[in-house]
Amino acid sequence: MPPRYLDQRVKWIWFAPTLVALLIIWLIASLFAFIGMGSDEFVFGMSKPAFTFALFLFLFIFFGVPAYIYNHIEYVSFTFELSEREFIIRQGVLTRNTTVIPYNRIQNINTQRTLLERALGLASLQIETAGTNPNASEGFLPGVSNKDALVNEIMARVERVKKGISNEESNSAKTERELLADMLKELSQINHNLQQLASPGASIPHVPLKRASWKHISPDHTGLSDKK
């Protein structure tokens, strides 16, 4: 299946801390310019309103725009895939990181929503597996808009894979039991033939062996060899 992307609104969640930091810097500098200096003073040769506007443009162009571009690249680099046997998450801009989670190891999927995620209609998924630290998750998927549908799709695959593994183990155990039953039956027949051989004048009936029951026994294990 082709890889899937997060909801594009997740870029605003990632950009929010940078935006808040830039606004705080701008407000502090603007207050210092208006309150800390005299009314007739200029800041860097500019009037105070012009300085605050120039500072806003400076912070937006040299810090805000690069941060948003980086978040966009991070968004494009973050994909997830639901294959037949495993859940795959790929992420990272400078260093690529791939997380592969087999469906048969998934135990639970938790959802969480911050205040900003609620405002944007998004949620984050935490995928817990067998042996995972209770305070951590093996897979983390942010910026999900259709969380209920995605959780149901993942858990349906989990149930299907676990059911298939259970059926395979059951069929394997059944085959082994049938093989052992055939071997015991043939050994019992050989023992009966040996008892008849010990009786005077008794003849041994010919009983063909089932080749399928002994297919895992190589000729070397019989202790027989061809000698000329």
Ranges of each domain in the chain: 4-77, 79-211
Mean local confidence (pLDDT), 5-28? 95
Cα–Cα distance, 141 to 127 (Å, whole number): 8
Return the pLDDT at 114: 92
Q: 172 phi and psi, to 5 degrees?
A: -65, -45
Return the pLDDT at 130: 77
Cα–Cα distance, 138 to 36 (Å, whole number): 51
pTM: 0.67
Q: Is the pLDDT of residue 150 over 60?
A: yes
Return the pLDDT at 187: 78
Does 29 or 191 have the greater pLDDT score? 29
Calculate the alpha carbon distances from 94 to 70, 71, 80, 97 in Å.
11, 12, 18, 10
Structurally, what CATH architecture does the domain formed by 79-211 represent? Roll (2.30)
Mean local confidence (pLDDT), 128-151? 81
Return the pLDDT at 170: 55
Q: What residue ranges in the chain does DSSP mark as E strands?
A: 4-5, 79-82, 86-91, 97-102, 106-112, 123-129, 139-144
Return the pLDDT at 224: 42
Joined tokens for residue 42 = 């200029």
